[in-house]
Structure 1
Amino acid sequence: MKMGFRWYGDGNDTVSLDDIRQIPGVETIVWSLHHKQAGEVWTEEEIAAEIAKIENLTEEHRARGITKTFKADVVESVNVHESIKLGKTVLGLDRDTAIENYKLCIERLGRAGVKVICYNFMPVFDWLRTDMFHPLPDGSTALFYEKAIVDELTPESLIASMNLDDGGMTLPGWEPERLASFQELKEAYVGVTREDMYANYKYFLDAVIPVCEEFDVKLGVHPDDPAFDIFGWPRVVSRKEDLARVLSLNESPYNGLTLCLGSFGSNPDSDPVDAVKTFMDRIHFSHVRNIKHFENGDFIEVGHRACEGSIDTTGIMKAYAEAGYEGYVRPDHGRHLWDENRGNTPRPGYGLYDRALGIQYLLGVWDAYRYER
Structure 2
Amino acid sequence: MELSFRWYGESDPVTLENIKQIPDMRQIVTAIYDIPVGEVWSDEKIKELKKAIENKGLKFEVVESLPVSEEIKLGTNKRDEHIDNYKQSLRNLAKNGIKTVTYNFMPVFDWTRSQLDYQLDDGSNTLIYDHEKVKDIDPITTQMSLPGWDESYSREELSHLVETYRSMSEDELWENLKYFLDAVLPTAIEEDIDLAIHPDDPPWEIFGIPRIIKNEKSYKKLIEINDNSHNGICFCTGSLGSTAENNLPKMIEQFGDYIHFVHMRNVKRVGEKSFIETGHLTKNGSIDMKEIVKSLKKINFKGTIRPDHGRMIWGETGKAGYGLYDRALGATYINGLIEGVESID
Normalising to structure 2: TM-score of the pair?
A: 0.96
CA contact (8 A) 2:40 2:88 kept: yes
Give runs of aligned pairs for residues 136-215 of structure 1, distance below 5 A. 136-156=120-140, 160-162=144-146, 173-178=148-153, 181-215=157-191
AA paired with 2:293? M
Equivalence for 2:14: 15
Is contact 1:322-1:370 (8 Å) kept? no
| Match of residue 258 from structure 1 | 234
1:100 aligned partner, one-letter code: D
1:314–1:365: 8 Å Cα contact kept in structure 2?
A: yes
Q: Residue in 2 aligned with 1:169?
A: none
Which sections of structure 1, spanning at least 5 residues, go unmatched?
58-68, 167-172
Pairwise CA distance, 1:196: 0.7
Matched letter for residue 372 of structure 1: I
Q: Which amino acid aligns with 2:225?
A: L
Query: Deviations for 1:60-82, whole angstroms, at most 9, x for unmatched residues?
Result: xxxxxxxxx11100000010011
* Equivalent of residue 72 in structure 1, options 46, 60, 78: 60
Cα RMSD (Å): 1.5
What displacement does 1:156 show?
Answer: 4.1
CA 302–158 in structure 1, closer or farther in 2 if over 3 Å, else same:
farther
Equivalent of 1:81 in 66, 69, 74: 69
After superposition, the Cα gap between the structure-2 partners of 1:260 and 1:179, relative to the gap in structure 1 and judged at 3 Å, is: farther
Report the CA distance between 1:157 and its aligned residue: 6.2
Residue pairs, 1:110-129, within 5 angstroms: 110-129=94-113
Q: Is 1:336 the equivalent of 2:312?
A: yes
1:29 aligns with 2:28: yes
Letter in 1 for 2:216: K
- Aligned to 2:271, the other structure's residue is in SS state coil
Q: Deviations over 1:98-123 (max 9, x none)?
A: 10011011010011110000000011
After TM superposition, the structure 1 stretch with the greater mean CA deviation from structure 2, 247-256 or 105-114, is 247-256
1:301 aligns with 2:277: yes
Structure 1 residue 187: deviation in Å? 2.8
User: Is the CA contact 2:100–2:193 (under 8 Å) kept in the aligned structure 1?
Assistant: yes
Q: Secondary structure at the match of 2:343?
A: helix
| Aligned mates of 2:344, 2:142 — CA distance in 1 | 48
Asked if structure 1 preserves the Cα contact closer than 8 Å seen for 2:108 and 2:149, the reply is no
User: Structure 1's 227 and 158: CA in aligned 2 closer, same or farther, altered over 3 A?
Assistant: farther
SS at 1:126's partner residue?
coil
Query: What TM-score comes out, normalization by structure 1 length?
Result: 0.89
The alpha carbon displacement at 1:190 in A equals 3.6
Please report how far the alpha carbon of residue 339 of structure 1 lies from its aligned counterpart in structure 2 after TM superposition. 2.5
Amino acid paired to 1:306: T
CA deviation after TM superposition for structure 1 residue 133, in Å: 1.0
User: Distance in 2 between the 1:16 and 1:328 partners?
Assistant: 20
Mapped to 2, the partners of 1:174 and 1:123 lie a distance apart of: 11
8 A contact 2:238–2:264 mirrored in 1: yes
Q: Match for 1:356: what amino acid? A: A
One-letter identity of the residue aligned with 1:175 = D
How far apart are residue 226 of structure 1 and its match?
0.1
TM-superposition CA deviations, 1:45-104 (whole Å, max 9, x none): 1111111000114xxxxxxxxxxx111000000100111111124xxxx11001001101
CA apart distance, 1:176: 2.5
Match for 2:333: what amino acid? Y
Tell me, yes or no, if the aligned pair for 2:137 and 2:207 is still in contact at 8 Å. Answer: no
CA shift, 1:16, in A, is 0.3
Does the 8 Å CA contact 2:310/2:322 hold for their aligned counterparts? yes
The answer for unaligned runs of 5 or more in structure 2 is: none
- The 8 Å contact of residues 232 and 260 in structure 2, kept in 1 or not, is answered as yes
Determine the C-alpha separation between the residues in 2 that align with 1:178 and 1:271: 37
CA distance in 2, matches of 1:88, 1:193: 16
Q: How many residues are treated as equivalent by the alignment?
A: 344
The residue identity in structure 2 corresponding to 1:349 is: G
Per-residue CA deviations over 1:233-275 (Å, capped at 9, x if unaligned) read 1111011101111122111211000011100111222111211
- Of all paired residues, the percent bearing the same amino acid is 41
Task: Tell me if 1:273 matches 2:249.
Answer: yes
Go from structure 1 to structure 2 and tell me whether the alpha carbon gap of 1:42 and 1:178 turns closer, same or farther (over 3 Å shift).
farther
From 325, 330, 340, the counterpart of 2:301: 325
TM-fit CA distance, 1:355: 0.7
What is the letter of the counterpart of residue 322 of structure 2?
Y
Contact between 1:228 and 1:267, CA under 8 Å: does it hold in 2?
no
**Structure 2 CA distance for aligned equivalents of residues 313 and 220 of structure 1:** 21
What is the identity, as a one-letter code, of the residue corresponding to 2:6?
A: R
